[in-house]
Amino acid sequence: MASPASSTAHSGWAPLSYPDFRRLWTAQFVSNIGTWMQTVAAQWVMLSLTSSATLVASIGAAASLPVLLLGIPAGALGDLIDRKKLIAGSQLLMLLAATGLAGAAAAHALTPALLLALLFLIGCGSAASASTMRQHARLYPSDAAVLTDLDATLRPGETRSVEHSVAVTRSQRTAVAR
């Protein structure tokens, strides 16, 4: 993997000079946009189903509560079983729940309870895959080499990881979205 150009080696843009990090960042950004669109659409659908402000507000809770409840157990589960299978299974769960959501909406069969249940399942898949994906990236030598090289070039004398950069970027995008 090529080292970043010296002009960006010590800037905040240095991680983007790595093709793998650039692909990861772009994929996460596009995924977040899809999640935001899904949340807005779910709130809009809930408004069309009911005028209850509580049910509309519960859309965010249904998507976020699984991360709070399952984040730590999912990380422990990722340590006990094959991470690739856990990630694939959680992604499959989210795909099936999203497909069920789309199918129920197309069939005009969505109810507030079904909408919240499917969003909760999507949140469960997200909770199961998020912590496991972070651990998975740390364990593979090709990824570790990129992280080590990037850590050395970001800020001399300081340790800063790609994961930290992704976390900061994610929190900044979330703050902008609110």
**Is residue 159 one of the residues assigned to a domain?**
no
Question: Domain residues for 76?
Answer: 40-139
**Is residue 129 one of the residues assigned to a domain?**
yes
**Is residue 63 one of the residues assigned to a domain?**
yes
The rounded Cα 58 to chain-centroid distance in angstroms is 20
- Average pLDDT per 10 consecutive residues for the chain, totaling 178 residues: 52 83 86 90 94 93 90 86 86 94 94 96 89 60 50 47 53 49
Query: What pLDDT is stored for residue 93 in this prediction?
Result: 93
**Is residue 73 one of the residues assigned to a domain?**
yes
**Total domain count for the chain?**
1
**Is residue 173 one of the residues assigned to a domain?**
no
Rounded to an integer, what distance in angstroms lies between the CA atom of residue 20 and that of residue 14? 12
Rounded to an integer, what distance in angstroms lies between the CA atom of residue 101 and that of residue 122? 10
Rounded to an integer, what distance in angstroms lies between the CA atom of residue 109 and that of residue 77? 35
**Is residue 172 one of the residues assigned to a domain?**
no
For residue 48, the SS3 value is helix
> Tens digits of per-residue pLDDT, 30-80?
988 998 999 999 999 999 999 999 999 999 899 889 989 988 888 888 888
Query: What pLDDT is stored for residue 157 in this prediction?
Result: 45
**Is residue 9 one of the residues assigned to a domain?**
no
